[in-house]
Amino acid sequence: MEKVCLCRGVTKEQIIESIKNGAKTFEDVKEKTGAGTGGCRGGRCEGTIETLIKVYEE
Q: Where are the domains of the chain?
A: 3-56
Neighbours of 6 (CB within 10 A): 13
| pLDDT surpasses 80 at 14 | yes
pLDDT at 51: 98
* pLDDT, tens digit (0-9, with 9 covering 90-100), for 22-51: 999 999 999 999 999 999 999 999 999 999
| pLDDT surpasses 80 at 58 | no
CA dihedral 8, 14, 18, 19 (to 10 degrees): 110
Q: What is the CATH number of domain 3-56?
A: 1.10.10.1100
| pLDDT surpasses 80 at 10 | yes
pLDDT at 15: 98
If you average pLDDT over residues 10-19, what whole number do you get?
Answer: 98
pLDDT at 57: 86
